[in-house]
């Protein structure tokens, strides 16, 4: 086998996993296409010690720290397919080469799909957002909106008044029940049923949304829940069990980030219903530790994995 561990995806989760293996002096290859999910945002918030830095800067720093460990190698490129081979795995890359490794850590993240509204995509990560904890503070208590896609909108609209006066745009996507409407009222949320036609303002800033009847509603930020899908189908190729999450499918893992396939671990957004850089990094740490232990306690991959619990 070429490596003890292959980490597919070199961002928050993958680099954190590789760090644990590097510190155990294990040969590890980190394969990455350099497109972390938060690359649309100018700054990343809430990651301990890195609050307000650009996502690209954080990645450079994490990679620089890892580069100090001689057993770690980086390769730019995509993993296209993977299969079990003997007591490890064979992975084909987009440069036509194959690599083999005794264990695999899947950390290739998810892709977002956004509603098709004029003015929306170009503001993603700046004034069109999904996570108030990540970017709500910077809106400085100005008016914000929630663009409903489904029932998740109720949850977002209940949270958002802590960041600014909130309007819930239900459109045709979601209608709160009488009880939900009461809860929204208590939080001071306005409900607007006329569908949003476009986002306006000198982008990437947002000044208002124009409704289908021509009225405009001033807003500094518009929140929504994007639909998500894994960035690759490698987990499916390997036979990993999936779960349905609030925005899309994610890989089922247990508390050690072990998937349902022996020797395959998964971490970060693609293995969690909750997306956050710090949570991704923490799960990466666990996956790195679990892969290391698997090399020691189950070298020939003979143990059956227990059913993943989340």
Ligand X SMILES: Cc1cc2nc3c(=O)[nH]c(=O)nc-3n(C[C@H](O)[C@H](O)[C@H](O)COP(=O)(O)OP(=O)(O)OC[C@H]3O[C@@H](n4cnc5c(N)ncnc54)[C@H](O)[C@@H]3O)c2cc1C
Binding site for ligand X (CB under 6 A): 8-14, 31-38, 40-41, 44-47, 78-79, 107-109, 112, 124-125, 131, 134-135, 231-232, 268-269, 275-278, 280
204/141 Cα distance (integer angstroms) = 18
Closest CA to 223 of 138, 151, 131: 131
Cis peptide before 20 (omega within 30 of 0): no
- Minimum Å gap between C-beta 170 and ligand X is 23
Is the Cβ of residue 106 or residue 189 nearer to ligand X in the bound state? 106
Token couple for 14: 């993958």
Instruction: In angstroms, give the least distance from the CB of 76 to ligand X.
Output: 9
Smallest distance, ligand X to C-beta of residue 14, A = 6
CB of 47 or CB of 265, closer to ligand X:
47
Q: Which is nearer to ligand X, 69 or 124 (CB)?
A: 124
What is the chain's alpha carbon radius of gyration, rounded to the nearest angstrom? 21
- Spatial CB neighbours of 213, under 8 Å, sequence gap ≥ 6: 194
Return the number of the residue (138 or 190) whose C-beta is nearest ligand X: 138
Minimum CB separation of residue 212 from ligand X in Å reads: 27
State the Cα–Cα distance between residues 108 and 163, nearest whole angstrom: 31
Nearest-5° Cα angle at 252, 30 to 77: 20
The Cα 18–Cα 22 span in angstroms is: 6
Chain centre to alpha carbon of residue 166: 25
Shortest separation between residue 126's beta carbon and ligand X, angstroms: 8
H or E element that contains 83 = strand 79-85
Rounded to 5 degrees, what are φ and ψ at 297?
A: -90, -15
CB 58, min distance to ligand X, A: 10
Instruction: Compare residues 144 and 275 and give the one whose CB is closer to ligand X.
Output: 275
Closest to 173 measured CA to CA, from 244, 245, 249, 115: 115
Cβ closest to ligand X, residue 95 vs residue 182: 95
Q: How far is the CB of 135 from ligand X (least distance, A)?
A: 6
Q: State the chain's maximal CA–CA distance in angstroms.
A: 66
Output 46 or 204, the one with its CB closest to ligand X: 46
In the three-class reduction of DSSP (H, G, I as helix; E, B as strand; rest coil), residue 128 is classed as strand
Chain residue at closest Cβ approach to ligand X: 268
């Amino acid at each position: 086998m070429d490596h003890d561990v292959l980490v597919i995806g070199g961002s928050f989760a993958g680099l954190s996993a590789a760090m644990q293996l590097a510190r155990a002096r294990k040969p590890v290859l980190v394969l990455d296409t350099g497109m972390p999910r938060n690359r649309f945002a100018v700054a990343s918030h809430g990651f301990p010690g890195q609050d307000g830095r650009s996502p690209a800067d954080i990645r450079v720093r994490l990679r620089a720290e890892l580069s100090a460990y001689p057993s770690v190698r980086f390769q730019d490129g995509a993993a296209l397919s993977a299969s079990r081979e003997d007591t490890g795995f064979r992975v084909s890359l987009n440069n036509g080469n194959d690599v083999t490794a005794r264990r695999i850590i899947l950390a290739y993240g998810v892709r977002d799909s956004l509603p098709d509204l004029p003015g929306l995509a170009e503001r993603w990560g700046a004034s069109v957002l999904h996570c108030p904890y990540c970017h709500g503070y910077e809106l400085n208590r100005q008016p914000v909106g929630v663009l409903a896609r489904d029932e998740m909108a109720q949850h977002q609209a209940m949270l958002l008044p802590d960041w600014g006066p909130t309007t819930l745009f239900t459109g045709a996507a979601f209608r709160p029940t009488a009880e939900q409407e009461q809860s929204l009222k208590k939080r001071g949320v306005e409900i607007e049923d006329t569908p949003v036609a476009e986002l306006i303002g000198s982008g990437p800033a947002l000044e208002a949304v124009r409704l289908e009847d021509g009225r405009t509603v001033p807003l500094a930020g518009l929140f929504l829940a994007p639909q998500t899908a894994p960035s690759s189908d490698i987990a499916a190729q390997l036979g990993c069990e999936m779960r349905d999450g609030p925005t899309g499918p994610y890989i089922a893992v247990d508390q050690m980030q072990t998937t349902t396939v022996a020797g395959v671990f998964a971490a970060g957004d693609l293995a969690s219903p909750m997306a956050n850089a710090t949570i991704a990094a923490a799960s990466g740490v666990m996956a790195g530790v679990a892969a290391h232990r698997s090399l020691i306690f189950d070298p020939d991959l003979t143990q059956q994995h227990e059913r993943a619990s989340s």
